[in-house]
Chains A and B, each alone.
Chain A
């Protein structure tokens, strides 16, 4: 058997499954977003669903909210993850514990973290009880709304909790692979700690940080259960809105749900482009 035939046979099952399930699902979603379904006699594709969502205030609010949640969560997680990685590459008391908790967090599903955040930050949660204990509030309603709130603070806190370890372990591995020679050279040439970090280490680890951030951003932009549990009712995050439209009793709303799914897919396509660009660069360097 030639290598060529071998490669095709080895790859075929996986390519068929991903082709049918993943790309098939995308293509059917795209067709239905144009209200094109030959099976039930809809053979005239149209842009109605897109016109409908792009002229709806709710869609823009949802899109902006989702983008804001994804951007803020990713940014805060990345910055804190770099800090945590700087901490973890040195010896200090408790390093083994942080290492273990990082790995533990990787295995805990987002949903569990979201419930934990709910029990910590809701108006009758642990922090509200602490505030009552210290006499700062008398009733739960006096505690600031940190979940189901318009600024999505609870959602962002959950993502920051979960993504610091994710980005952190990737950045840490990056730093350990680089070693400390570059920084030592910078220090011996007179740079202080901060200058060595900003001008030497940060540019070196940046592609790694960016490729991890891209995965995180795309995940958050498309995640359903966390905003469904911790988010305000209106505006809802885009995946929540899409799911609501899809399960609406009015079947006419389904193409709109599909159009929103396509918007999410397009945004993640941009993320894939960025990922491939920066992941490749990381491999080359």
Chain B
């Protein structure tokens, strides 16, 4: 009796698992096929002709895809580095100390991870015009800090809550300077957290659309903006190629950090914004 039940349960699990796998992978398939297709018209199930045209176009100098790629990487790197520099100290304060008003500080840092970007960016845009920051790369980097910085702080707070500061005191008592203590004691201990938090902050910036569109004013064309433009203009083959390029960093980061991507790590919360 029990044996039979477990066999039917196994079958059921296998079946639902297969449906789930199909559903999870399904939307990426036509994107990948389109990037190698040439004139793939209704009602052909598969392209009649295969070609590398879309890829050649994407990597040509005239298409602007490569320019977009470098701008997107530059903005994401800058937002990540700034988030690390500012976020690590704040994470230390939240992870190591108990103080009055801590709950309010946590709430202030949590708020930008839940309030949608458009609610903030419209007001910010009119100020950025006054400061000459609209339509500039620096303006876009600044506005990307809104989603990336809180995320970095929360990740580092988690790292520092498992950190023992008494090693620093020992280093200092043995005569190490403040800088040497940081460099040889603190930094190596928190480096794994910085790397994982930094990679995910990079992805959060990498995926921003409306913040870039509003503050960049259409002048700062990152990869998602270019992707959207090609998708709405009906160039499915080029859209497919750009789409494949666009998801590549995420896959690389996934291969580097897969074991940190369980729901138990604080890092996962940030994926609500990608």
Which A-chain residue is minimally distant from B253 (CB atoms)?
A: A107
Chain B at the A interface: SS class: helix
Question: Is there contact, CB below 8 Å, between B26 and A17?
Answer: no
**A116 contacts the other chain (CB 8 A):** yes
Complex Cα distance, B253 from A105, in Å, reads 12
Most-contacted residue by chain B among A15, A106, A110, A130 (CB, 10 A): A106
* A219 and B116 in contact, given A15-B105, A107-B251, A116-B28 (Cβ under 8 angstroms): yes
Residues of A near B24 (CB, < 8 A) are 98, 101-102, 104-105, 161, 164-165
Question: Is there contact, CB below 8 Å, between B116 and A222?
Answer: yes
Among residues 257 to 272 in chain A, which have CB atoms less than 8 Å away from a CB atom of chain B?
257-258, 261-262, 264-265, 268-269, 271-272
Output the least CB separation between B117 and chain A (Å): 7
Complex Cα distance, B263 from A212, in Å, reads 10
Question: Is there contact, CB below 8 Å, between B20 and A115?
Answer: no
Which B-chain residue is minimally distant from A223 (CB atoms)?
A: B116
Most-contacted residue by chain A among B119, B121, B251, B262 (CB, 10 A): B119
Q: Which of B90, B124, B236, B261 makes the CB contact (< 8 A) with A106?
A: B261
Residues of A near B85 (CB, < 8 A) are 13
**Interface residues as binary, B13-57 with A (CB distance below 8 Å gives 1, 0 otherwise):** 110111011011111111100100000001111000000000000
**Interface residues as binary, B256-274 with A (CB distance below 8 Å gives 1, 0 otherwise):** 0010011110001101111
Complex Cα distance, B111 from A218, in Å, reads 11
Question: Is there contact, CB below 8 Å, between B14 and A94?
Answer: yes
Q: Which of B21, B110, B120, B272 makes the CB contact (< 8 A) with A101?
A: B21
Complex Cα distance, B126 from A39, in Å, reads 11
Residues of A near B112 (CB, < 8 A) are 18, 22
Residues of A near B43 (CB, < 8 A) are 128-129, 132-133
**Interface residues as binary, B107-146 with A (CB distance below 8 Å gives 1, 0 otherwise):** 1111111111111111111110010000000000011011
**Interface residues as binary, B91-107 with A (CB distance below 8 Å gives 1, 0 otherwise):** 01110010100000101
Question: Is there contact, CB below 8 Å, between B90 and A14?
Answer: yes
Question: Is there contact, CB below 8 Å, between A222 and B118?
Answer: yes
Complex Cα distance, B117 from A244, in Å, reads 16
Residues of A near B73 (CB, < 8 A) are none
Question: Is there contact, CB below 8 Å, between B105 and A32?
Answer: no
Question: Is there contact, CB below 8 Å, between B274 and A107?
Answer: yes
Complex Cα distance, B126 from A31, in Å, reads 11
Among residues 1 to 25 in chain A, which have CB atoms less than 8 Å away from a CB atom of chain B?
3-4, 6-7, 9-11, 13-15, 17-19, 21-25
Q: Count of A residues near B, CB < 8 Å?
A: 108
Known: A107-B271, A262-B119. 13 other contacts (CB 8 A): A7-B99, A17-B145, A23-B108, A30-B123, A87-B16, A107-B250, A109-B250, A118-B231, A126-B29, A169-B263, A218-B114, A261-B118, A275-B110
Residues of A with Cβ closer than 8 Å to B?
Answer: 3-4, 6-7, 9-11, 13-15, 17-19, 21-32, 37, 39, 83-84, 87, 90, 92-95, 97-98, 100-113, 115-120, 124-126, 128-130, 132-133, 140, 158, 161, 164-166, 169-174, 176-177, 212, 214-216, 218-219, 221-225, 228-229, 239, 242-243, 246, 257-258, 261-262, 264-265, 268-269, 271-272, 275-276
* Chain A to chain B: the 5 pairs with minimum beta-carbon distance, closest first: A222-B116, A116-B27, A29-B123, A173-B263, A107-B250
